[in-house]
């Protein structure tokens, strides 16, 4: 489901480019390529850009950079939209698609050509390769030598070759340095002598403009979309000076740049499918809640003192670019899971129940109703079964993900298989009478927690047993496991009928 595309950018080149470079409002953007699912690294950049805009009551723009025809797909663009929505990164404008802005880019290239800020270059790819090889062999930096700059043509003795379509190159300044104060990394400067004349439009007959290239489109887009702060991954640091030069050539002051550090896999390698740093959708499917993902992602490279657990709202309130660390961070799956558990614990039960329900269904506990605190329709073992809310209440502190919580809830629906050896460890002649007594009491006692607790306590005193001697056999019979919630809570959740059916003395 693709949102409607909005046209962006007027056709009056000059007036547009030269004037409105004062940004009153903060406008950030996220500009992914639709070439696959978003991984944690990408989405974190989006999160930071979004949080910055929201913090300043600014706007957040989504731009899809779909000019790589071979790898781009609509499905992937839809996936991006879906993931952002799930995380709560609401967008104010867009998505804009670069493919639909080609005319605009060409218009600007044509203008630059006319103004002498760009020129045709007939050097073939083969020649370029040869040139670079030679430069490398001589221990020089491989770069285009500017031979087709109008003033150099004669010097190089060049003639326009037959049947070769020229590319258009940007005339980069020869001297001086390009410098900017990166909002994350601080002052950075690069000598123009390190930069060469980059191709801004691919081959096309003279008089036409070929397909424009990335570094150029980005600048035109950021100008047209009035982006005030470019928050992006630090893989773009080396593009920045080139882009700044293009901004200036177009008569526009460049925006503020903030380059966020890379996220590495837990092994320290770059994030990729193999590292388990899988797509966001898979975290959703594993029972992670978006609040926890936002929290964890933000905490990877950003900090607000010693705050570890915070809500998306708090992130927005506290966020600033200066508190980003400039160094790369490793993804820590264990900490993410812990964080997820913390967010689950803090969530209102009803909300938790609502989110748990699909996971219960997926686990095969289909009949779970959505809410309420009374037993509802018959479950898989033939008894009225607990609601999602009751289960959430019972297990919220014991499961780090919704999926694990659903798995833990098994005994709420299905009679457990009780291992005889395990039971024998906890049930013996010493406590058997007590358990029998408890069962008797449970047949008639009020099914409320204080009453249930009282029965259990009475059993201890009446039979002079230690607490575990009463609790453990019940726990095992009720759940099939020695690790389970408090027995009174279990009884309450499971219900009288089901509980009695499971207690065998």
Site for RNA in 14-33 (CB under 7 A): 33
Q: Rounded to the nearest 5 degrees, what angle is found at the Cα of 138, between the Cα atoms of 132 and 143?
A: 30
> Looking only at residues 437 through 476 of this chain, which bind RNA when binding is defined by CB under 7 A?
453, 456-457, 466-472, 475
484 binds RNA (CB under 7 A): yes
Note whether 340 binds RNA by CB under 7 A.
Answer: no
Residue 149 is a binding residue for RNA (CB under 7 A): no
Task: Name, in order, each residue with C-beta under 8 angstroms of 368's C-beta and a sequence gap of 6 or more.
Answer: 357, 360, 361, 385, 387, 388, 391, 413
Using CB under 7 A as the binding rule, whether residue 143 contacts RNA is answered as yes
Candidates 407, 410, 418, 405; CA nearest to 385 is 410
Q: Figure out which of the listed residues 9, 255, 290, 301 binds RNA, where binding follows CB under 7 A.
A: 301
Distances (CA, A) of 313 to 67, 300, 317, 323, 355: 35, 17, 6, 17, 20
The yes or no reply on residue 338 touching RNA (CB under 7 A) is yes
Nearest-approach distance from CB 144 to RNA, in angstroms: 6
The residue among 121 and 376 lying less far from RNA, judged by its C-beta, is 121
Residue with Cβ nearer RNA (58 or 474): 474
Binding mask 343-382 for RNA (x = CB under 7 A): --x-------------------------------------
User: Which residue of 488, 496, 499, 502 would you call a contact of RNA, by CB under 7 A?
Assistant: 488
Residue from 57, 139, 461, 464 touching RNA (CB under 7 A): that is 139
- Smallest separation, CB 38 to RNA (Å): 13
CB of 26 to RNA, least distance (A): 21
Q: What does residue 191 show for φ and ψ, rounded to 5 degrees?
A: -70, 140
- Identify the H or E element spanning 189: strand 186-191
Binding test (CB under 7 A) with RNA, winner from 147, 481, 500, 501: 481
Binding span for RNA by CB under 7 A among 62-70, 219-227, 385-393, 494-502: 62-70
Interaxial angle between packed helices 388-395 and 487-494, expressed in degrees from 0 to 180 and rounded to the nearest 10: 170
Radius of gyration from C-alpha coordinates of the chain: 32
Which residues from 90-129 bind RNA, rule CB under 7 A?
Answer: 98, 123-125, 128
- Give whichever of 384 and 500 is closer to RNA, judged by the CB atom: 500
Q: Active-site positions?
A: 273
Q: Which stretch binds RNA (CB under 7 A): 112-120, 193-201, 376-384, 413-421?
A: 193-201
User: Among residues 243, 284, 497, 485, which one has the least CA distance to residue 386?
Assistant: 497
Residue 398, interface with RNA (CB under 7 A)? yes
Is 10 a binding residue for RNA by CB under 7 A? The answer is: no
Separation between Cα atoms, residue 47 and residue 42, nearest integer Å: 9
Please report, as residue ranges, which positions from 217 to 276 form the binding site for RNA (by CB under 7 A). 234-239, 261-262, 264, 270
- 140, 280, 291, 389, 404 from 287: Cα distances, Å: 53, 11, 12, 16, 8
Largest CA distance in the chain: 109
Cα(293)–Cα(312) distance, rounded to whole angstroms? 10
Extended strands (E) in 343-437: 376-378, 384-385
């Amino acid at each position: 489901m693709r949102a409607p595309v909005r046209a962006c950018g007027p056709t009056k080149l000059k007036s547009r480019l030269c004037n409105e470079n004062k940004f009153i409002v903060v406008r950030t953007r996220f500009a992914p390529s639709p070439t696959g699912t978003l991984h944690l690294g990408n989405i974190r950049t989006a999160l930071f850009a979004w949080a910055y805009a929201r913090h300043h009551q600014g706007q957040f723009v989504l731009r899809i950079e779909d000019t790589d025809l071979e790898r781009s797909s609509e499905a992937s663009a839809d996936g991006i939209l879906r993931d952002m929505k799930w995380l709560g990164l609401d967008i104010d404008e867009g998505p804009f698609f670069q493919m639909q802005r080609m005319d605009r880019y060409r218009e600007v290239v044509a203008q630059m050509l006319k103004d002498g800020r760009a020129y045709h270059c007939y050097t073939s790819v083969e020649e370029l390769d040869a040139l670079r090889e030679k430069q490398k062999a001589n221990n020089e930096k491989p770069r285009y030598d500017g031979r087709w700059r109008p003033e150099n043509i004669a010097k190089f003795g060049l003639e326009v070759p037959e049947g070769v379509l020229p590319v258009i190159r940007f005339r980069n300044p020869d001297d001086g340095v390009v410098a900017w104060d990166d909002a994350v990394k601080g002052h950075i400067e690069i000598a123009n002598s390190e930069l060469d004349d980059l191709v801004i439009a691919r081959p096309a007959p003279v008089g036409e403009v070929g397909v424009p290239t990335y570094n150029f489109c980005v600048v035109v887009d950021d100008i047209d979309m009035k982006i005030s702060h470019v928050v992006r991954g630090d893989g773009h640091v080396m593009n920045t000076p080139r882009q700044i030069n293009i901004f200036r050539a177009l008569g526009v002051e460049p925006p503020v740049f903030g380059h966020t550090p890379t996220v590495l896999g837990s092994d320290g390698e770059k994030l990729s499918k193999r590292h388990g740093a899988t797509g966001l959708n898979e975290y959703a499917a594993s029972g992670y809640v978006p609040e926890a993902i936002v929290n964890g992602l933000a905490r990877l490279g950003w900090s607000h003192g010693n705050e570890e657990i915070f809500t998306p709202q708090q992130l927005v309130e506290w966020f600033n670019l200066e508190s980003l660390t400039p160094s790369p961070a490793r993804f820590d799956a264990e900490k993410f899971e812990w964080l997820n558990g913390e967010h689950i614990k803090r969530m209102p039960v009803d909300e938790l129940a609502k989110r748990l329900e699909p996971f219960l269904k997926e686990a095969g506990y289909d009949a779970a109703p959505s809410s309420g605190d009374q037993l509802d329709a018959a479950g898989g073992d033939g008894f009225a079964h607990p609601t999602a809310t009751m289960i959430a209440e019972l297990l919220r502190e014991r499961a780090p993900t919704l999926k694990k919580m659903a798995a833990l809830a098994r005994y709420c629906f299905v009679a457990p298989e009780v291992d005889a050896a395990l039971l024998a460890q906890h049930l013996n002649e010493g406590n058997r009478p007590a358990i029998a007594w408890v069962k008797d009491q449970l047949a008639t006692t009020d099914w409320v927690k204080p009453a249930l607790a009282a029965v259990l306590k009475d059993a201890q005193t009446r039979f002079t047993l230690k607490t575990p001697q009463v609790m453990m056999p019940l726990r095992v019979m009720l759940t099939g496991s020695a690790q389970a919630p408090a027995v009174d809570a279990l009884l309450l959740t499971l219900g009288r009928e089901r509980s009695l059916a499971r207690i065998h003395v």
